[in-house]
Each structure stands twice: as structure tokens, then as C-alpha cells.
């Protein structure tokens, strides 16, 4: 895929039914991309496809659980038999999680790791080999600003995003020699359904009200990702995350104090729930 070109290219997006995935689908449709939309929520996915078609775009939908290797493998076989190697793979699907690390049940660890890490591993394993044979393409993996600073009560979620960060870095080095670019996206707080069902006590509720007031619009991040695909950028970092990215490396001690202070403030917080909501 030549730099600057998206029109006419096949783009597969996971988590396409809502939030960031939906915004990316619409923005890439406007650019003339041929979309392959994947999500576990079939009805919502169909609605996004209608929006894409309303813009004059082309969309093909697949209801798939990306935590299942068998389902992803069948998806890849279907897509490759119809259209060959995809030009762009966007791993946008993910779930949120808010709970103290020690209190997080093992089954919730499994769910979180299954979607946020294994989902990406499955998709890359299934689709990258054909891209490598073609010697062109782009892979976009969504990490998080929490890969820069793991906020207390978000430890398990941050763990998965640190993993995506390291996975994507190694993948970028390896696939460079096959003509494939890898972009890692680090959103901060984005105004999507991601945080909708998180509950908690007074501190959590007040904190989320403040965060939502300053949260970025998903459309803003989406446009940044589209530009990154066109230019084969290594990273997409939300503007508000740049100070954290830079300062933690230069002067780490304020973040150590901030982390301890947040943990102290939330140590007795009642009603913190585990949120299993789509990140996208």
C-alpha cells in the first residue's frame, strides 16, 4: 500500500459496532476504503454498515468472537478466499476494567486478557502471513495512555495495554522487513460507551464527571488514526497524553507520588465495579 493512499484499499476493523471502531469505519468510508467490519454485536454492526453505505461506501460485516481462534481462523479463510490479503488490519476491539488488582476475580482476568491481548494475537496470526506474502500493508493496534501511567484500580486493564505496547513494538521491527507498517494508538480518555457502566462511590463518580468534561471526542482520535495509516506512523498519541509520555521519563517521582495518592484516596472506595464494556 502506497503512502497516502486509502481509497480502494481493503480495511478490516475489529470492534466496529460502536465508539472508536464506528468512527473509524465512517471516516475510512469517506476516504473510499472497502470495509470489512468485525464485531461480536451483530445488530449494532449492521447499523454501522448501513451508515457506511449511506455515505456511499462499501461494507461487509462479520459477527465474530475474536477471543476464539477457531472463529478468527474461519473468518480469515472466508476473507482470503473472497478478496485475498487485506491492506489494513485495525485491532480496535477491547473491554474496560476497573477494580483493585488483588480483588479482580480470575475469570475477569481471563476475559480481559482474552479480548485485549489474545484478540490481537489471533487477528495478527490469521491475517499477517498473507500480508507478508504480498509485501505490503498496515496493522494498527490500540493500546492506551495507561501504558504510560498505570492508574490505581485500573491495574489489570493497564497490564493488557502494556502488553499491547510491547507486542506492537516487536511486531513493527519484524514486519518492517516484509514491507508492513505497524501503528500503535494510545488514546487518553475518550467520550465513548467505554466508561458507561462503571460504578463506584463518591470519589469515582466525581472523578468520572470531571474526566468526561475534558474527554476527547472519538471523531478527533479517529481522524488522527486515519492520518497515521496514510503516513505509516509508528504512534498515535492523544494530545493530553504527550505530557505524561514525556514527563514520566524525565521526572518520574511526581508520578510515583500521584500513584500513591490516588491509591490512598481509593483504598476504601465502596462500590467500584468491574466494567466489561466495549472499549470501542
**Is the CB of residue 143 less than 8 Å from the CB of residue 165?**
yes
> Max Cα separation, the chain?
55
Active site residues: 157
Residues 57-90: b if buried by 16+ CB within 10 A, e if exposed: bebbbbbbbbbbeebbeebbeebeeeeebbbbbb
Q: Which residues contact 277 (CB under 8 A, 6 or more apart)?
A: 95, 96, 193, 194, 195, 196, 197, 198
CA atoms within 13 A on the CB side of 46: 2
Comparing CA positions, the residue from 106, 172, 167, 175 lying closest to residue 134 is 175
Q: What is the 3-state secondary structure (H, E, C) of 88-114?
A: EEEECCCECCCCCCCCCCHHHHHHHHH
Reduced to 3 states, what is the DSSP secondary structure of residue 222?
A: helix
Q: Which residues contact 246 (CB under 8 A, 6 or more apart)?
A: none
**Radius of gyration from C-alpha coordinates of the chain:** 19
Q: Report the alpha-carbon angle 121-127-132, nearest 5.
A: 110
- CA 126 vs CA 123, 178, 193, 268: distances in Å: 5, 16, 28, 44
Amino acid at each position: 500500500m502506497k503512502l497516502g493512499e486509502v481509497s480502494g484499499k481493503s480495511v478490516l476493523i475489529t470492534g466496529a459496532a460502536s465508539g472508536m471502531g464506528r468512527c473509524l469505519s465512517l471516516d475510512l468510508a469517506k476516504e473510499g476504503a472497502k470495509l470489512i467490519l468485525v464485531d461480536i454485536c451483530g445488530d449494532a454492526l449492521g447499523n454501522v454498515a448501513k451508515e457506511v453505505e449511506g455515505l456511499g461506501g462499501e461494507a461487509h460485516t462479520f459477527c465474530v468472537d475474536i477471543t476464539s481462534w477457531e472463529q478468527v481462523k474461519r473468518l480469515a479463510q472466508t476473507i482470503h478466499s473472497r478478496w485475498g490479503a487485506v491492506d489494513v488490519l485495525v485491532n480496535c476491539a477491547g473491554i474496560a476494567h476497573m477494580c483493585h488488582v488483588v480483588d479482580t476475580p480470575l475469570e475477569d482476568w481471563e476475559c480481559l486478557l482474552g479480548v485485549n491481548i489474545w484478540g490481537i494475537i489471533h487477528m495478527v496470526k490469521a491475517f499477517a502471513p498473507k500480508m507478508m506474502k504480498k509485501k505490503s500493508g498496515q496493522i494498527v493496534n490500540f493500546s492506551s495512555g495507561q501504558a504510560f501511567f498505570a492508574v490505581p484500580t485500573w491495574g489489570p486493564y493497564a497490564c493488557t495495554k502494556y502488553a499491547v505496547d510491547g507486542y506492537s513494538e516487536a511486531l513493527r521491527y519484524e514486519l518492517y522487513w516484509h514491507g508492513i507498517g505497524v501503528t500503535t494508538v494510545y488514546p487518553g480518555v475518550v467520550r465513548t460507551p467505554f466508561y458507561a457502566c462503571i460504578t463506584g462511590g463518591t470519589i469515582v463518580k466525581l472523578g468520572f464527571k470531571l474526566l468526561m468534561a475534558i474527554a476527547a471526542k472519538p471523531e478527533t482520535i479517529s481522524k488522527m488514526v486515519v492520518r497515521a495509516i496514510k503516513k505509516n506512523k509508528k504512534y498515535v498519541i492523544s494530545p493530553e497524553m504527550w505530557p505524561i509520555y514525556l514527563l514520566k521519563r524525565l521526572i518520574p517521582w511526581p508520578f510515583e507520588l500521584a500513584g500513591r495518592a490516588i491509591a490512598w484516596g481509593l483504598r476504601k472506595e465502596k462500590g467500584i465495579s468491574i466494567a466489561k464494556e466495549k472499549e470501542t
